[in-house]
Amino acid sequence: DGGITQSPKYLFRKEGQNVTLSCEQNLNHDAMYWYRQDPGQGLRLIYYSQIVNDFQKGDIAEGYSVSREKKESFPLTVTSAQKNPTAFYLCASSNRRTGGTYEQYFGPGTRLTVT
């Protein structure tokens, strides 16, 4: 899991509450990413950031928000607008902002359960 930490590992929330997932990296990577993993659906990109104070929507950004105030941190907020938030959330980082030649390194993940 390298130098990327995600906390907490398990998170339980009631429906209608916002929740923030933490992601920190000490790899000095420019780019950071948030993915959602559901059984049988692989990984889907929620948001990504190629540089501090800038981020872009991925394929399934609705109901989520992010910030990138520091290079090492990229927190994800799951809002009450997300219709089906229960999932395994993975954060990743990579060495380059663009080009795509550098592999992404993943954190251990946070399993969010909303009831």
Partner 1 sequence: AQSVAQPEDQVNVAEGNPLTVKCTYSVSGNPYLFWYVQYPNRGLQFLLKYITGDNLVKGSYGFEAEFNKSQTSFHLKKPSALVSDSALYFCAVSGGSSNTGKLIFGQGTTLQVKP
| 109 binds partner 1, rule: CB under 8 A | yes
- Min dist CB 55 to partner 1, Å, is 13
Q: Cα 44–12–81 angle (5° rounding)?
A: 55
- Would you count residue 104 as binding partner 1 (CB under 8 A)? yes
* Tokens, residue 61: 């950004």
Smaller CB separation from partner 1, 35 or 114: 35
* DSSP-assigned letters across all residues of 2-59: TTEEEE-SEEEE-TT--EEEEEEE-S--SEEEEEEE-TTS-EEEEEEEEETTEEEE-T
Stretch that binds partner 1, among 14-22, 60-68, 71-79, 95-103 (CB under 8 A): 95-103
Using CB atoms within 10 Å of the CB of residue 110, give its burial: 0 to 12 exposed, 13 to 18 middle, 19+ buried.
Answer: buried
Candidates 21, 46, 90, 114; binder of partner 1 (CB under 8 A) is 90
For residues 4 to 43, the per-residue mask of contacts with partner 1, x marking binding by CB under 8 A and - elsewhere, is x-x------------------------x-x------xxxx
Query: What letter would DSSP give residue 103?
Result: P
Taken as a whole, the chain contains a residue count of 115
Return residues touching partner 1 (CB under 8 A).
1, 4, 6, 31, 33, 40-43, 45, 48, 50, 58, 88, 90, 92, 94, 96-101, 103-109, 111
